């Protein structure tokens, strides 16, 4: 029996990985979750608790000798350093989810040896931050320098699924919720013109599963991405086409610049990723999984949005730009609790941004 522990395995990639691993009855899969979940498979057990809590972490690591730990959690640099050795010493293989956002801009298809931002960027102000791409690279460096060599680094890029559908830097809660309720999608020309790579979460999960238990994947890094680059403008057109098939015809506002460029920290994701044209060379992972079976991006996005529209569920309301800048109106009856209603009303009054700034000082 292979005992596999998955931290944070309930997202776009994690849910698919759990299902794939559970198909092998020789696997016993444990998944940490902050909310109570019922398992649909006899060899999957959801363990309720906060994986960032040290007491909970110690209790679950001491529970068994783990053959593999897959870590989807997002840590800051110090959090990772404080637990990395404990994780490496508690398992036969530690699979660390990094990100292909670690890579610098490239005129050619990115390989695992392409330069990383942390190594080549000269922007001192940016390098002084713990922004996501830098954080992941610093955590990779910790593994590179470790005496333990039982780790595998995964660098997925932008993933989509039946529950996650991005448009540039916008999650579905920022564009699709507004489209379904206010019929206005707000996007920007600066990102729409860029080429990106979107990968179905189930395909990334298949790639991860193919590396589990493989000694030849130890002390190495792999990106698992589609080989079908696509312009963000085309992504938007695909979404609009599916919405129109479902009787929804949203209006579109195209700004010149992404609104996040107006705030320094959120701007880094735009400047050091979405402004890059991202294409990938999948040769390395193709030795473990048949990448030709990965979903074509246009087909996958269409399928996932169509399925989502059958039973739409939104995690949270991230509509500040739509309400504050473009005066989108959302009926209060559509907002799911008093906190979101208060937030929306403050946006309508033009007070939300100022109050948020005060609270973060």
Burial class, 68, CB count within 10 angstroms (exposed 0-12 / middle 13-18 / buried 19+): buried
Does residue 353 register a pLDDT over 80?
no
Q: Compute the average pLDDT of residues 218-242.
A: 97
239 contacts 246 by C-beta, under 8 angstroms? no
Nearest to 67 by CA among 25, 29, 41, 24: 29
Does residue 321 register a pLDDT over 80?
no
The CA-to-CA distance between both ends of the chain, in Å, stands at 51
Does residue 334 register a pLDDT over 80?
no
Structure token digits, residue 291: 């990448």
Does residue 264 register a pLDDT over 70?
no
Give tens-digit pLDDT for 91-119: 999 999 999 999 999 999 999 999 999 99
Q: How far apart are CA 25 and CA 41, in angstroms?
A: 10
Per-residue confidence at 325, pLDDT binned at 50, 70, 90? confident
Residue 358's pLDDT is 66
Q: Which residues contact 257 (CB under 8 A, 6 or more apart)?
A: 188, 189, 190
* 3-state DSSP percent of the chain in helix, strand and coil, to 5: 45, 15, 40
Does residue 318 register a pLDDT over 90?
no
Q: How far is CA 187 from CA 18, 256, 281, in A?
A: 34, 9, 29
Q: Compute the average pLDDT of residues 179-207.
A: 93
161 contacts 16 by C-beta, under 8 angstroms? yes
Q: How far apart are CA 78 and CA 86, in angstroms?
A: 14
Q: Compute the average pLDDT of residues 271-295.
A: 97
Does residue 361 register a pLDDT over 80?
no
Does residue 234 register a pLDDT over 60?
yes
DSSP codes of every residue in 2-33: EEEEEETTTSTTHHHHHHHHHTSTTEEEEEEE
Q: Compute the average pLDDT of residues 277-300.
A: 97
Q: How far apart are CA 214 and CA 305, in angstroms?
A: 35
Residue 73's pLDDT is 94
Give tens-digit pLDDT for 7-24: 988 888 999 999 999 999
Does residue 159 register a pLDDT over 90?
yes
86 contacts 22 by C-beta, under 8 angstroms? no
Phi, psi at residue 7, to the nearest 5°?
A: -90, 125
Give tens-digit pLDDT for 71-93: 999 999 999 999 999 999 999 99
Give tens-digit pLDDT for 125-134: 999 999 999 9
């Amino acid at each position: 029996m292979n005992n596999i522990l998955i931290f944070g395995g309930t997202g776009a990639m994690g849910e698919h990985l759990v299902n794939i691993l559970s198909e092998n009855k020789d696997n016993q899969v444990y998944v940490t979750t902050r909310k109570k979940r019922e398992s649909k498979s006899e060899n999957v057990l959801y363990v309720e608790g906060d994986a960032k809590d040290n007491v909970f972490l110690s209790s679950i690591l001491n529970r068994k000798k783990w053959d593999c730990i897959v870590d989807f959690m997002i840590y800051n640099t110090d959090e990772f350093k404080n637990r990395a050795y404990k994780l490496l010493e508690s398992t036969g293989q530690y699979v660390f989810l990094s990100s292909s956002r670690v890579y610098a801009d490239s005129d050619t298809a990115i390989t695992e040896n392409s330069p990383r931002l942390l190594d080549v960027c000269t922007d001192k102000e940016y390098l002084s931050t713990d922004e996501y791409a830098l954080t992941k690279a610093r955590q990779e460096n910790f593994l590179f320098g470790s005496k333990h060599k039982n780790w595998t680094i995964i660098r997925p890029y932008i993933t989509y699924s039946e529950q996650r559908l991005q448009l540039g830097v916008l999650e579905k809660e920022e564009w699709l919720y507004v489209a379904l309720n206010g019929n206005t999608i707000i996007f920007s020309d600066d990102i729409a013109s860029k080429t990106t790579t979107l990968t179905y979460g189930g395909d990334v999960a298949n790639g991860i599963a193919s590396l589990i238990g493989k000694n030849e994947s130890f002390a190495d890094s792999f990106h698992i991405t589609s080989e079908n680059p696509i312009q963000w403008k085309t992504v938007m057109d695909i979404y609009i086409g599916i919405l129109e098939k479902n009787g929804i015809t949203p209006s579109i506002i195209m700004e010149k610049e992404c609104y996040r460029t107006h705030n320094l920290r959120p701007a880094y994701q735009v400047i050091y990723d979405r402004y890059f044209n991202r294409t990938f060379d999948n040769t390395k992972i193709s030795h473990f999984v048949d990448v030709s079976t990965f979903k074509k991006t246009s087909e996958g996005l269409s399928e996932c949005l169509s399925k989502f529209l059958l039973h739409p569920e939104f995690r949270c309301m991230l509509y500040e730009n739509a309400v504050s800048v473009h005066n989108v109106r959302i009926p209060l009856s559509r907002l799911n609790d008093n906190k979101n209603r208060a937030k929306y009303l403050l946006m309508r009054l033009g007070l939300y941004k100022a109050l948020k700034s005060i609270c973060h000082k």
